[in-house]
Amino acid sequence: MAHKILIVDDNASTRGELVKLLVDAGFETMTATTVPEAMRALSTSTPSLLITEIRLDSYNGLHLVAMAPKPIPAIVITGYADRAVEADARRLGAEYLAKPVSPGELYATVQRALSTAAARGVFMPPRRDPRSDVAPNTMVLVNDAPACLLDVSAGGARVEIQCAPGATIQSPLAFRLEELDVALPLEVMWKRRTSANTWVCGVAVAEDLRPDWQTFLNVVLKTVPA
């Protein structure tokens, strides 16, 4: 059975070119133009691979990689080469390609992503740090302003941030608790606007700050270190 590939791109021409290249190479394809549409596809279908553009309206294609309901190998494609974005993509287990992408390069990357996933027995390396739920309305200080923590892991968190209409979110974000006299800088891995003045962000902590982040989590989750 041919592998099915989900292609997410809001440019009809690019989307069509990718479909043709992959169908000619023997793959089945399905498409989406927005992150919400792609999330629905990932929830109701079982594609073998995700190929997504980075810039998707007010969303970020990395959001799909990070928040896919099931593990899936991924390739992110961008017309704006950026080492920071590349590092974020690879940290999430995704391949990274900068346009223009030749048919040979695309095919080789697809085969590599699928082969690596098959060798590991899973679609994508399992999430390194499982998420933990937090109590509803758990508030923290982000850049010294109240924000709502949605869930956490040993490597980061999801957080809902209120800001002025039209304002955006800049990385890094300084996380602080009133109980702890320290501000931890976390990098924004993805972000999406949910209303005129609300953003939901996925943030990650640097390896050398994980011990401090764990202390932060102990307070948030009201746990006692082992």
Question: Rounded to two decimals, what is the model's pTM?
Answer: 0.58
Which domains does the chain carry?
4-120 (3.40.50.2300), 132-221 (2.40.10.430)
Give the pLDDT of residue 44: 86
Q: Residue with structure tokens 């501000």? A: 183
Give the pLDDT of residue 132: 81
Nearest to 210 by CA among 153, 139, 148: 153
CB 72 within 8 Å of CB 3:
no
The neighbouring-strand residues paired with 49 are: 5
Give the pLDDT of residue 155: 87
Give the pLDDT of residue 75: 95
Residues 6 or more apart whose CB falls under 8 angstroms from that of 200 comprise: 150, 158, 159, 160, 161, 191, 192, 194
pLDDT truncated to tens, each residue of the chain (226 aa)? 568 999 999 999 999 999 999 988 888 999 999 988 999 898 888 899 999 999 887 788 888 888 887 778 999 999 888 888 888 888 888 999 998 889 999 999 998 888 877 655 444 444 556 778 888 888 999 998 999 999 898 888 989 999 888 788 888 999 998 888 788 999 887 777 778 888 888 888 888 999 999 999 988 887 544 4
Residues 6 or more apart whose CB falls under 8 angstroms from that of 150 comprise: 134, 157, 158, 159, 160, 200
- In angstroms, rounded to a whole number, what is the distance separating the alpha carbons of residues 86 and 93? 11
